[in-house]
Chains A and B, each alone.
Chain A
Amino acid sequence: MPAEAGARRLRDNPMTKLTLGPVLFNWKPETLRDFYFRMADESCVDSVHVGEVVCSKRTPFFEPFIPEIVERLAAAGKEVVLSSLALIMSDREMAQARDLAQSDGIMVEANDISVAALMQGRPFVAGPLLNVYNEGTLATLRSMGAVRVCLPAELSADAVAALAASTPMEVEIQAFGRLPLAISARCYAARARNLSKDGCQYVCADDPDGMAVETLDEVPFLAVNGTQTMSYHAMDLLGDVAGLAARGIGRFRLWPQTFDMVAVAALFRAVLAGKAGVEEAEDRLATLCPGAEFANGYIHGRPGHLFIEAGD
């Protein structure tokens, strides 16, 4: 039944798109390059985000690789979006934001309000790390040039549907991967190893999917990605995307992890197209993401860490 319902809904929404979010983790530049090349060549996503969002200390290593990545993605027909930093404090970070805002012929995602302002009316994507909770904020962002908005993770299906219905902008929500939950000036990857942020030795690179954080009872809870705190559980909206598409959500974001993201994207595509049933897709996702735990609580209006089965 779910597959049939999905297929029926999809005929109403044939244009549902998939976005590959920026890699939030500190992967080696060569790894990142190879990852993006493969996404260009093999993945079914429509848009691919590139750029450092979490820590400006990581930027210099990756920056030289960006032009060839953008070129390869564009040649493969992907829309390329350059994502901004989330927390902008220093002169260097502000200069980086200004350069980004001047990018010619390429879409920019603002993850700090300063970047949205620096666009000066030119088209941009309002990123999921901006606080967009209501119609008023959507309208203001639209007047600033936003053409698409990826909503914060903590919103429920009712909230995202209401927002999508209120705006001509394309509305995107986060559908897969560890969720960015908080950003700080302090680096917890460094702190966990008794290092300071200045002398961090880039230890965040040791954990390409983030550093697991458990409670004192050894219950998995959160994950640390440098200055960013994420969910331990990976968001999994496989069971929800068809219904959300029918409610006007035109785009779903998949956050990259070290899993086979080509296969993960294909799975979401198959479910949206009604070519795979949710149950079968969930089983396949579990195989694709060994060791991962999944959650979808937020979209059901519940605590984010919960997984609510369809029909519950």
Chain B
Amino acid sequence: MASVASPNRPELVCPAGTPAALRSAVDAGADCVYVGFRDETNARNFPGLNFNRKELAEGIAYAHERGAKVLVAINTFPRAGQPEIWHQAVADAAKLKADAAILADIGLIEHAHRAHPELRLHLSVQAAASNPDAIRFYAERFGVRRVVLPRVLTVQEIAAVNARIAPVETEVFVFGGLCVMAEGRCALSSYATGQSPNMNGVCSPAGEVRYTETSQGITSELGGFTINKFAHDEPAGYPTLCKGRFIAKDKASYLFEEPTSLNTLSMLPDLVKAGVTAFKIEGRQRGRAYVAAVVQAFRAGVDAVMAGKPLPDIDLDRITEGGKQTTGAYEKAWR
């Protein structure tokens, strides 16, 4: 049975892109599951993914019966003149008794705060609140209770933030795909393809991806731009724009970031010490087997830290992007 988060027991917040993944996450020990509606109101607006209203109601019932919470991500930025589907998403999250809505747009947060005062509000990573002044603004003006921190801060900086924003809670990403740009402040995808996380809930959208076979191997493209080239014996990775190889100063390199996944299992004790309330796993686009494996690993990790035991040695290599892992911005050297 999942308990309420406390300084002694951080919540494990797990992704679910489908009802099956939601059940897998809850069964594997998730304290919270986060989901989105099947439209452009959330930042994982991918074909075949996400929940309709009935599925959400059933998912919430399944989770609540097992002591877990469901958070609904409504974290894109409403279109000018057409806020209706975003307002409806917030209204439905409140009506279906989601445990919180995760929002990014200031106007939408103001709307939710006014129209649904009973709905607990979390600030999405897409709002990129990177300092105590920004966080206090969202808390004081809109009653935001928890902030998902952008992946730009070191563990030391996270501890300093937490010391200044109580009782506002922080949630940090501990595993999965990672943005190397401040989240919600990146228009690279729309520059290449016309579609962006902020406007459309997609980054490097699949419809703009092309793989071309050449005599040297495979070229991956996004919006007509070459993002990477692979030899015949190399696996051709997905062309996420910021994980591509580019030429700068006459040198080809992974200029922004290598194809890699965040994995902070080894840093859990430090993150607990830094006062983080919740640990978030990325991957609503992933299958239930992935979700189950990662949730189990982090459940064991968090429980070990709380019991004062050594961290379990769990190898997550086989499910990370390109088999590579990083602790990202949590360590200063990453910058």
Q: Which residues of A contact B (CB under 8 A)?
A: 86-91, 93-94, 97-98, 112-114, 116-118, 129, 131, 133-141, 152-155, 158-160, 162-163, 166, 179, 181-188, 191-193, 196-198, 211-219, 221-222, 224, 229, 231, 297-298, 301-305
> Residue among B77, B111, B187 with the most chain A CB within 10 A?
B187
Instruction: Tell me whether B248 and A212 are in contact (CB under 8 A).
Output: yes
Return the chain B residue nearest A153 by Cβ.
Answer: B187
Taking a contact as CB atoms closer than 8 A, the residue among B79, B152, B256 that contacts A87 in the complex is B152
Instruction: Tell me whether A304 and B335 are in contact (CB under 8 A).
Output: no
Q: How far is the CA of A10 from the CA of B105 in the complex (A)?
A: 34
Instruction: Tell me whether B132 and A137 are in contact (CB under 8 A).
Output: no
What is the CB-to-nearest-CB distance from B239 to chain A, in angstroms, rounded to a whole number?
11
Which of B159-176 touch A at CB < 8 Å? Answer: 160
Return the chain B residue nearest A165 by Cβ.
Answer: B81
Instruction: Tell me whether B80 and A302 are in contact (CB under 8 A).
Output: no
Instruction: Tell me whether A131 and B77 are in contact (CB under 8 A).
Output: yes
Instruction: Tell me whether A187 and B188 are in contact (CB under 8 A).
Output: no
Contacts of A304 in B (CB 8 A): 187, 190-192, 194
Instruction: Tell me whether B78 and A133 are in contact (CB under 8 A).
Output: yes
Q: Chain A interface mostly helix, strand, loop or mixed? A: mixed
Contacts of A152 in B (CB 8 A): 187, 198
Interface string of B226-245 (1 = CB under 8 A from A): 11110000000000000001
Contacts of B188 in A (CB 8 A): 181-182, 222, 229
Taking a contact as CB atoms closer than 8 A, the residue among B133, B181, B332 that contacts A183 in the complex is B181
Q: Which residues of B contact A (CB under 8 A)?
A: 77-81, 83, 104-108, 110-111, 127-134, 136-137, 141, 152-153, 157, 160, 180-182, 184-188, 190-194, 196, 198-199, 219, 223, 225-229, 245-249, 251-253, 255-257, 329, 332-335
Instruction: Tell me whether B247 and A218 are in contact (CB under 8 A).
Output: yes
Instruction: Tell me whether A139 and B107 are in contact (CB under 8 A).
Output: yes
Return the chain A residue nearest B131 by Cβ.
Answer: A88
What is the CB-to-nearest-CB distance from A119 to chain B, in angstroms, rounded to a whole number?
11
Q: How far is the CA of A137 from the CA of B107 in the complex (A)?
A: 4
Taking a contact as CB atoms closer than 8 A, the residue among B106, B137, B199 that contacts A137 in the complex is B106
Return the chain A residue nearest B142 by Cβ.
Answer: A140
Instruction: Tell me whether B246 and A214 are in contact (CB under 8 A).
Output: yes
Contacts of B187 in A (CB 8 A): 152-154, 179, 181-182, 304
Instruction: Tell me whether B133 and A131 are in contact (CB under 8 A).
Output: no
> Residue among A133, A138, A305 with the most chain B CB within 10 A?
A133
Q: How far is the CA of A152 from the CA of B226 in the complex (A)?
A: 26
Contacts of B333 in A (CB 8 A): 196
> Residue among A131, A152, A191, A224 with the most chain B CB within 10 A?
A131
